[in-house]
Amino acid sequence: MVAMKGKILIVEDDEFLRSLTAKRLEREGYEVAVAVDGESAVNVALEAKPSLVLLDLLLPGVDGFEVLRRIRANDQLKTLPVIVFSNLGQREDIEKAQTAGADDFLIKANFTLDDVASKINGRLGAGQSAAPTA
């Protein structure tokens, strides 16, 4: 249950969702950094040096797809794991996010924050995607 300590950058414009996610991840033992829009996300990532980014797609101004492209184009950030965490979930959105370099795609409404926490634990703990419970 106890994960390797790390810092998670939450890029989320909805204040309530952002605070719930931050609270849950802090409970899990992670340090949390936040960005409230796409424009600031890359700068926050460069400053905060997170271990993983939880990225919303629909953001004011620069959207999550563009943030992802900028992260992948940045030498310091290009290997940073990015989990897209959005309520968009059509095939086109998933494909677009994968093309832009997302490591995973979670639809918010279909998961609980416990699932997200264990997904992050799995990814950071084992250095790869969590094996599904079977």
Partner 1 sequence: MERHTIAWYYLFFFLLVVTFFLSADFSPINNGLRLFILMLIFAAVVAPGLVYWSGRREHLADQASISLLVSTNHDLEASVKALQIKELERAGAKDDRSELIASTAHQLRTPLSAIKWTLQMMLQEQLGPVSAEQKEYLQKGLDAAGRVIATINEWLNNDVAKNNRDEYKFVKTDLLSLLDEVLAEFRHKLAQTHVRLAVERPDRRELVAEVDPAKFSMVLDNLIDNAIKYSRPKGQIKVKVLTERLNSPKPEVEFVVSDDGIGIPASDHSKIFQRQFRSSNAVEAAIGGSGLGLSISKHVVEMHRGQIWFESQEGKGTTFHVVVPIYQNKV
Site residues for partner 1 per CB under 8 A? 14, 16-17, 20-21, 23-24, 27, 58, 87-91, 94, 107-115, 118-119, 130-134
The nearest distance, CB 86 to partner 1, in angstroms, is 8
Compute the radius of gyration of the chain from its Cα atoms: 13
Q: Which is nearer to partner 1, 67 or 117 (CB)?
A: 117
The nearest distance, CB 118 to partner 1, in angstroms, is 8
Q: Which is nearer to partner 1, 89 or 101 (CB)?
A: 89
Q: Which is nearer to partner 1, 79 or 90 (CB)?
A: 90
The nearest distance, CB 42 to partner 1, in angstroms, is 24
The nearest distance, CB 43 to partner 1, in angstroms, is 25
